[in-house]
A and B are shown apart, each in its own frame.
Chain A
Amino acid sequence: MNRQKIWRLLAVLLALVVVAAGCGNDDDEVQEIQDVSLQLQWVPQSQFAGFFAARDLGFYEDVGLNVTIIDGGLDIVPATVLDSGGADFAISWVPRGLVPREEGLNITNIAQVFQRSGTLQVSFVDAGITGPADLEGKLVGNWGFGNEFELLAGLVSVGLDPQSDVTLVQQDFNMTALVNGDVDAAQAMIYNEYAQVLETINPDTGELFQPEDFSVIDWNDVGTAMLQDAIWADADKLETDDNYRDIAVRFVEASLRGWIHCRDNFQQCVDIVVAASPPFGGPAHQAWMMNEINALIWPSPGGVGIMDQALYDQTIDVATSQGILQAPPDAGAFRTDIAEEAVANLEAAGVDVYGNDFARRTVEVKEGGN
Chain B
Amino acid sequence: MPKIDTMAETDDPLVREHRLKQQAAHEERRDAVVRIVRQTVTFVLFMALLAGLYTGYKAFGQAIDDRQHEWAVVGSVLPRTDDLNMPPVSEIFGQFGETPGGRDQIYVKILFDEALFTLREAFAGFMVGLVIGMAIALALAQWRRLEQGLLPYVIASQTIPLIAIAPIIVIWGRKNFDVFPWEWQDWMSVSIIATYLTFFPVAVNGLRGLQSPRPENQELMESYAANWLQTLWRLRLPASLPYLFAALKIAATASIVGAIVGEISAGVEGGLGRRILREAFNYTTGPDRLFASVLGAAVLGIFVFLVVTGVERVVVGNQNRESTT
Contact = CB atoms under 8 A, between A and B. Distances in A.
13 contacts: A43-B277, A70-B186, A71-B269, A81-B167, A174-B280, A176-B283, A278-B278, A281-B281, A282-B102, A283-B101, A366-B101, A367-B285, A369-B101
Given A73-B166, A76-B267, 11 more contacts: A73-B265, A76-B170, A81-B167, A172-B280, A179-B84, A200-B284, A282-B100, A282-B102, A283-B101, A283-B102, A369-B282
A76 B266 contact: yes
A73 B268 contact: yes
A85 interface: yes
Contact of A74 (B103, B174, B277, B286): B277
Instruction: For chain A, give the interface size range.
Output: 35 or more
Interface in B246-283: 263-269, 274, 277-278, 280-283
B170 A203 contact: no
B146 interface: no
B18 interface: no
Interface string A168-180: 0000111110011
A77 interface: yes
Nearest to A77: B167
B77 to A, nearest CB: 14
B84 to A, nearest CB: 6
A173 B175 CA distance: 31
A48 B281 CA distance: 18
A interface secondary structure, majority: loop
Nearest to B175: A85
B284 A73 contact: no
A309 B171 CA distance: 33
Given A73-B266, A278-B103, A368-B101, A81 B171 contact: yes
A274 interface: yes
A196 interface: yes
A190 to B, nearest CB: 16
B70 to A, nearest CB: 12
Contacts of B58: none
What are the 3 tightest A-B residue pairs by CB atom distance, in nearest-first order? A370-B101, A73-B267, A282-B101
A172 B283 contact: yes
A71 B285 contact: no
B82 interface: yes
Given A73-B267, A274-B102, A86 B175 contact: yes
Interface of B: 80, 82-85, 100-103, 163, 166-167, 170-171, 174-175, 186, 263-269, 274, 277-278, 280-287
A72 to B, nearest CB: 5
Interface string A274-300: 100111111110000000000000000
B274 A43 contact: yes
Contact of A80 (B82, B171, B186, B268): B171
Contacts of A76: 167, 170, 265-267
A197 interface: yes
A209 B171 CA distance: 42
A98 to B, nearest CB: 19
Given A86-B174, A174-B284, A200-B285, A370 B100 contact: yes
A25 interface: no
Given A86-B174, A174-B280, A74 B265 contact: yes
A73 B167 CA distance: 9
Given A43-B274, A281-B281, A180 B84 contact: yes
A336 interface: no
A75 B266 CA distance: 6
B102 A176 contact: no
A196 B267 contact: no
Given A280-B282, A367-B285, A72 B267 contact: yes
A176 B266 CA distance: 25
Nearest to B287: A176
A43 B279 CA distance: 13
Nearest to B285: A368
Contacts of A229: none
Contacts of B285: 196, 199-200, 367-369
A147 interface: no
Contacts of B102: 274, 278-279, 282-283, 370
A345 interface: no
A347 B286 CA distance: 45
A321 interface: no
Contacts of A326: none
Interface string A67-110: 00011111111001100111100000000000000000000000
A84 B266 CA distance: 15
A331 to B, nearest CB: 29
Given A80-B167, A180-B85, A173 B280 contact: yes
Contacts of B263: 73
Nearest to A197: B284
Contacts of B282: 174, 196, 280-281, 368-369
Contacts of A86: 170-171, 174-175
B187 to A, nearest CB: 12
A81 B265 CA distance: 13
A216 B324 CA distance: 65
Contacts of A280: 277-278, 281-282
Interface string A139-151: 0000000000000
A86 B186 CA distance: 11
A71 B268 contact: yes
A192 to B, nearest CB: 9
A302 B50 CA distance: 61
Contacts of B171: 80-81, 84, 86
A43 to B, nearest CB: 7
B284 A43 contact: no
Contacts of B175: 84-86
A280 B269 CA distance: 11
A62 to B, nearest CB: 26
Contacts of A73: 166-167, 170, 263-268
B167 A43 contact: no
Nearest to B279: A280
